[in-house]
């Protein structure tokens, strides 16, 4: 496994060793010991999630203000533009974002630790995202920052089409008004 820091050093691109030939491929999608070595911590995952979305669907920017979740995200069908936003007020990168394309072809994963908001835009006709979380889903603590907040300034690769948003994501709050971490 190769772990590469992004512009937000706590957010890592994880690239497994993929063994392929004419028959297909094989890779370990998760190895606890290697993950702990790469992230420098003993994270414990408690929940696995699977979402399927159509082209143009934008989910996020989501986080839980209490019972926060670290997320290890990968795509097993299609492609997404995956984004993490630092919402730790004490961080030198507070309010900054990083994005990476995750796809079934590149087999990359994105490690998003607690203290970050997360979202993604589906680039392919459909995409299946799988993500492990370090905390259980707690809807009463879930928050949503507006995907298009000008203070954050995420450069979503939308082209000329508007994103497809859920009611929850349409109601996302401005970053300046959001509950954030200390």
- Write out pLDDT tens, residues 116-139: 999 999 999 999 999 999 999 999
Residue at 182 is within a domain: no
Confidence of residue 158 (pLDDT cuts 50, 70, 90): very high
Whether residue 157 is predicted with pLDDT greater than 90 in this model: the reply is yes
Whether residue 161 is predicted with pLDDT greater than 90 in this model: the reply is no
Structure confidence at residue 41 (pLDDT): 78
- The active-site residue out of 62, 63, 136, 141 is 62
Give me the domain span that covers residue 102.
Answer: 2-177
- Which residue, among 159, 144, 179, has the nearest Cα to 65 in the 3D structure? 179
Lowest model confidence (mean pLDDT) among 9-18, 74-83, 131-140 = 9-18
State pLDDT tens for residues 44-72: 999 999 999 999 999 999 999 999 999 99
Annotated catalytic residue 136 = no
Domain count within the chain:
1
Q: Residue-wise over 94-110: b if at least 16 C-beta within 10 A, else e? A: ebebbbbbbbeeebbbb
- CATH assignment at residue 133: 2.60.120.10
- The active-site residue out of 43, 63, 118, 131 is 131
Annotated catalytic residue 131 = yes
């Amino acid at each position: 496994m190769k772990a590469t820091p992004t512009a937000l050093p706590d957010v890592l691109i994880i690239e497994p060793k993929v063994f392929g030939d004419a028959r297909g491929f094989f890779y370990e999608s998760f190895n606890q010991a290697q993950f702990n070595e790469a992230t420098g911590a003993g994270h414990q995952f408690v929940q696995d999630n699977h979402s399927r979305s159509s082209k143009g669907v934008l989910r996020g920017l989501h986080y839980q203000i209490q019972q926060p979740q670290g997320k290890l995200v990968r795509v097993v069908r299609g492609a997404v533009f995956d984004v993490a936003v630092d919402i730790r007020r004490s961080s030198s990168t507070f309010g900054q974002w990083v994005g990476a394309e995750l796809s079934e072809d590149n087999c990359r994963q994105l490690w998003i630790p607690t203290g970050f908001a997360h979202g993604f835009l589906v680039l392919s006709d459909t995409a299946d995202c799988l993500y492990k979380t370090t905390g259980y889903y707690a809807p009463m603590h879930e928050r949503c920052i507006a995907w298009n907040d000008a203070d954050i300034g995420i450069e979503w690769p939308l082209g000329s089409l508007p994103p497809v948003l859920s009611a929850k994501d349409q109601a996302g709050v401005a970053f300046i008004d959001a509950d954030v971490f200390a």
